[in-house]
Amino acid sequence: MVSPLKKSSERTLVGKTLANCVRSISFKHVVPADLQELKQALSGLSAEEILIAIAKRFGAGAVFSTSFGAEDQVLTQMIRSLTPTTGIFALDTGRHFEETYYTMAMTVSRYGPIDTFSPEAADIENLLKKKGPLSFYESVENRKECCFLRKVKPLQRALIGKSCWISGIRREQSPSRNSFDIAEWDEDHQLIKVYPLLEWTTEEIWNYIKEKEIPYNELHDRNFPSIGCAPCTRAIKPGEALRAGRWWWEQSDQECGLHVTTIRSLEKPANPS
């Protein structure tokens, strides 16, 4: 793909009962060995049951990150109605679409306050001074630098003191996410990640949103199935992958660094020698 900086003419409740699943083990401080047992406990549970099980096990150590996309709106509805001890936070990169900020406002209005983490002012001032506002179009390295300063560093602050990170990742979103398990160990942040909607289809997400009349980002109605920062997201064309509109000018893995630990670990050989 050609960089967007080039001239436009060049651009082309089934399962176990909760009583059986939720044990009294404290997961406030987790280690990788806890993962297997947790996976077994969550196996066969519905998304709602998973959230309840996580809240009972981790208490305030569990937190959910939302980007106000369709999946995250489903999880916000479930968490605020079923597990109020689970925190919810968002990362404000400063480069979101106007529609995303409207969705955020509607979500706060309906579900209450959401912790929001922003980049360090000095980081952004230095980046803009050195490389200008569109450096991410110039190289993958520059793009990852911007994602690191605007997303990864604020995420690190958001996860301080947490032991379980809940995410709206679904298996069908991309080939790299297809291999995810219901729970993963996050080496970078030393915690467990859980994906309650991993097996949900796009149709199930939208049926739930309609049934509960959940506010959603209107960009979804304009062929934006995956929504990130405005300069780095475009609508997809018929037949394109769900995340094809993210960093579309790159030949990269269409990931921003938030979930790279999980992807990296899946790419390792099963029995590294």
Residue 169 Cβ, how far from ligand SF4 at the closest point, in Å? 17
Closest listed residue to residue 234, CA positions, set 101, 147, 137: 137
Among 61, 69, 228, 245, binds ligand SF4 (CB under 6 A): 228
Decide if residue 143 touches ligand SF4 (CB under 6 A).
yes
Q: How far apart (Å, rounded) are the C-alpha atoms in residues 187 and 260?
A: 10
Query: Binder to ligand SF4 among 41, 78, 150, 208 (CB under 6 A)?
Result: 150
Q: Is 21 an annotated catalytic residue? A: no
Asked whether position 147 contacts ligand SF4 by CB under 6 A, the answer is yes
Which CB atom, from 57 or from 143, has the smaller least distance to ligand SF4?
Answer: 143
Phi, psi of 195 (to 5 degrees): -120, 85
User: Residue 256 in 3-state DSSP?
Assistant: coil
Closest-approach residue to ligand SF4 (CB): 229
CA–CA dist 249, 138 (Å, integer): 10
- Interface residue with ligand SF4, options 73, 83, 93, 103 (CB under 6 A): 93
Q: Which one of residues 164, 166, 256, 260 is an interface residue with ligand SF4 (CB under 6 A)?
A: 256
Q: Is 146 in the site for ligand SF4 (CB under 6 A)?
A: yes
Which backbone phi and psi does 238 adopt, to 5 degrees?
Answer: -55, 135
Q: Which residues have CB under 8 Å from 184's CB, separation 6+?
A: 35, 192, 193, 195, 262, 265
Binding site for ligand SF4 (CB under 6 A): 93, 95, 136, 143, 146-147, 150-151, 228-229, 231-232, 256
